[in-house]
């Protein structure tokens, strides 16, 4: 029988692969819409409205499906998220919608499938957090969630590079909604067979007594997950850490969505102005800099936060956000004309943003929730965050169309500054106590 350590390593690989694979049917949307904009004249304001609606659906789904994850189990809700993404993406690519139903109608038909996609995917992260809470103790949550959080960046980078390769090979926008979901379906099949929702699900060769004990422990976990929603919310609202996490999630998800939604279009505009002959495929590929650098941030900050303790996570966030603010201001006011230079600064933004973001979505959520209600708490924190993401998609699309990219980055800088001030205030209040969250 495999050792617990061996099973944990296998689990982490599966969780990273599972959540990363969702980005195959998420990070393909913005590049595809850039291609649609070039072909059919959709402007940033129109596409921003679609993205905003989809992200709003994602926010609602985070709360609803997060709570469902605590009822049906993390693995189940994760598989549901993957299956929905596969079906919805294939529907987008099933027809050349602008030619079949007309340019204007196609925008909303395809948009409806994108909304369905994002709503279904919203249960995925809560499912991952639920599984992690079953397998790992709280004192390892920072490092573990730092590793699992690299799935954002691994998936984003892999999806963007795949899309860039498809475009470079001459594929049209529809192939981004055919090849990608078929690959996701393959990963989903592996997850269904191999992923275990808790250590006790992996104990199939235990002795009779061990099986009985595992059954009792599993039942105890299930009973803990049945904490009534009203009771869970009453517990959460009393904790300052919960409210800090919610507000910071709103601000940092606004910033993250601003980059992830509009980086392909921004880099395309920079490359076009520079006279690049591969502006489309090149801008998609260079968008991956954000996630490549972000992986380092997630891993380093997650490990540091465990070493220094939960009460000092806000201090690490503060330092990283200060560096992020400088990177965003450079994008707003340095007027970078070289596509590679612009991509490098976006990479630095990813380095300093995604570490704090992954702390909120992972370790800090587990600090607040414990094992009880982990998926529900993750859903609430992320759900509020994606209200900010929805706002970012629409506001930045409209501002970039009317006032240019410098104005859009100024807005991102302002939101970053608010997050920096809040994280700094949180840090000052937690330093004397040394640990923000009481032990459960």
Segment 238-262 mean pLDDT = 85
Give the model's pLDDT for residue 73: 84
Q: pLDDT tens digits, residue range 370-387? A: 556 666 676 777 778 888
- Nearest alpha-carbon partner for 360 in 342, 335, 385: 385
Q: Does pLDDT of 439 surpass 50? A: no
> Would you say residue 5 lies in a domain?
no
- Nearest alpha-carbon partner for 134 in 220, 235, 209, 211: 220
Q: Does pLDDT of 95 surpass 70? A: yes
The burial of 329, by beta-carbon neighbours within 10 Å (0-12 exposed, 13-18 middle, 19 or more buried), is given as middle
* CB-facing half-sphere around the CA of 440: CA atoms within 13 A: 15
**How is residue 227 written in tokens?**
């904490």
The secondary element (H helix, E strand) that includes residue 205 is none
Q: Dihedral (C-alpha) 46, 48, 50, 55: value to the nearest 10 degrees?
A: -170
**CA separation, residue 128 to residues 296, 341, 403 (Å):** 20, 35, 40
Mean pLDDT for the chain overall: 82
The total of other beta-carbon atoms located within 10 Å of residue 416's CB is 27
- The Cα 316–Cα 253 span in angstroms is 18
- The Cα 382–Cα 404 span in angstroms is 29
Give the model's pLDDT for residue 186: 97
The domain in which residue 369 lies consists of: 15-200+234-430
Alpha-carbon torsion 291, 292, 294, 300, what sign?
A: positive
- The Cα 411–Cα 265 span in angstroms is 17
Residues in Cβ contact with 233 at an 8 Å cutoff, skipping those fewer than 6 apart: none
Band of residue 208 on the pLDDT scale cut at 50, 70, 90: very low
Band of residue 206 on the pLDDT scale cut at 50, 70, 90: very low
> Would you say residue 3 lies in a domain?
no
In the DSSP assignment, the letter for residue 134 is H
Q: pLDDT tens digits, residue range 69-85? A: 777 888 999 999 999 99
> Would you say residue 209 lies in a domain?
no
Give the model's pLDDT for residue 355: 80
Give the model's pLDDT for residue 131: 87
**For the chain, the helix, strand and coil percentages under 3-state DSSP, each to the nearest 5:** 85, 0, 15
> Would you say residue 294 lies in a domain?
yes
Task: Name residue, tokens 């240019």.
Answer: 404
> Would you say residue 142 lies in a domain?
yes
Give the model's pLDDT for residue 410: 96
| Inter-residue contact 177 to 28 (CB < 8 Å) | yes
- 339-359 and 279-286 helices cross at what angle (nearest 10)? 30
Q: Does pLDDT of 202 surpass 70? A: no
**How is residue 159 written in tokens?**
């999806």
| Inter-residue contact 297 to 354 (CB < 8 Å) | yes
In the DSSP assignment, the letter for residue 276 is -
Q: What angle do CA 347, 329, 302 make, to 5 degrees?
A: 45
HEC string for 196-211: CCCHHHHCCCCCHHHH
Report the CATH number that the domain containing residue 402 is assigned in CATH. Answer: 1.20.1250.20
What is the number of structural domains in the chain? 1
> Would you say residue 213 lies in a domain?
no
- The Cα 82–Cα 85 span in angstroms is 5
Give the model's pLDDT for residue 193: 92
Q: Does pLDDT of 2 surpass 70? A: no
Segment 193-210 mean pLDDT = 61
**How is residue 308 written in tokens?**
């220094």
Segment 192-215 mean pLDDT = 59
The total of other beta-carbon atoms located within 10 Å of residue 275's CB is 7
> Would you say residue 37 lies in a domain?
yes
Q: pLDDT tens digits, residue range 328-380? A: 999 999 888 898 999 999 999 999 998 888 776 555 655 655 556 666 676 77
- The Cα 376–Cα 248 span in angstroms is 18
- The Cα 191–Cα 11 span in angstroms is 10
- Nearest alpha-carbon partner for 162 in 128, 358, 154: 154
Segment 289-293 mean pLDDT = 88
> Would you say residue 212 lies in a domain?
no
The secondary element (H helix, E strand) that includes residue 143 is helix 141-168
- The Cα 222–Cα 226 span in angstroms is 6
């Amino acid at each position: 029988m495999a050792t617990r350590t061996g099973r944990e390593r296998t689990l982490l690989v599966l969780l990273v692969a599972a959540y990363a694979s969702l980005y195959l049917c998420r990070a393909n949307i913005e590049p595809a819409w850039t291609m649609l904009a070039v072909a059919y004249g959709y402007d940033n304001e129109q596409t921003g409205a679609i993205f905003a609606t989809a992200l709003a659906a994602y926010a609602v789904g985070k709360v609803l499906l997060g709570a469902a994850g605590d009822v049906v189990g993390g693995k189940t809700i994760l598989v549901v998220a993957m299956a929905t993404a596969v079906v919805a993406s294939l529907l987008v690519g099933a027809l050349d919608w602008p030619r079949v139903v007309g340019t204007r109608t196609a925008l909303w038909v395809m948009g409806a499938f994108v909304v369905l996609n994002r709503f279904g995917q919203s249960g995925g992260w809560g499912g991952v957090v639920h599984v992690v809470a079953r397998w790992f103790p709280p004192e390892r949550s920072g490092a573990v969630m730092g590793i699992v959080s690299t799935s954002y960046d691994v998936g984003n980078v892999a999806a963007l590079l795949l899309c860039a390769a498809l475009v470079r090979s001459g594929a049209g926008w529809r192939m981004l909604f055919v090849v990608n979901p078929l690959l996701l379906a393959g990963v989903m099949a592996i997850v269904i067979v191999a992923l275990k929702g808790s250590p006790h699900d992996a104990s199939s060769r235990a002795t009779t007594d061990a099986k009985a004990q595992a059954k009792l422990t599993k039942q105890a976990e299930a009973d803990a997950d049945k904490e009534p929603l009203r009771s869970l919310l009453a517990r959460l609202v009393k904790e300052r850490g919960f409210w800090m996490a919610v507000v910071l999630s709103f601000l940092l998800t606004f910033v993250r969505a601003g980059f992830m939604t509009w980086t392909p279009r921004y880099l395309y505009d920079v490359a076009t102005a520079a006279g690049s002959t591969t502006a489309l495929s090149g801008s998609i590929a260079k968008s991956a800099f954000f996630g490549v650098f972000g992986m380092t941030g997630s891993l380093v900050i997650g490990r540091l936060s465990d070493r220094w303790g939960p009460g000092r996570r806000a201090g690490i966030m503060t330092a990283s956000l200060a560096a992020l603010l400088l990177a965003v201001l450079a994008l707003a006011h340095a007027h970078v004309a070289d596509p590679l230079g612009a991509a490098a600064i976006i990479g630095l933004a990813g380095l300093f943003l995604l570490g704090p973001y992954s702390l909120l979505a992972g370790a800090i959520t587990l600090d607040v929730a414990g094992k009880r209600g982990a998926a529900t708490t993750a859903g609430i924190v992320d759900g509020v965050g994606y209200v900010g993401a929805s706002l970012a998609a629409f506001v930045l699309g409209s501002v970039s169309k009317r006032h240019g990219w410098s104005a859009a980055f100024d807005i991102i800088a302002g939101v970053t500054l608010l997050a920096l001030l809040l994280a700094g205030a949180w840090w000052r209040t937690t330093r004397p106590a040394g640990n923000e969250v009481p032990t459960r």
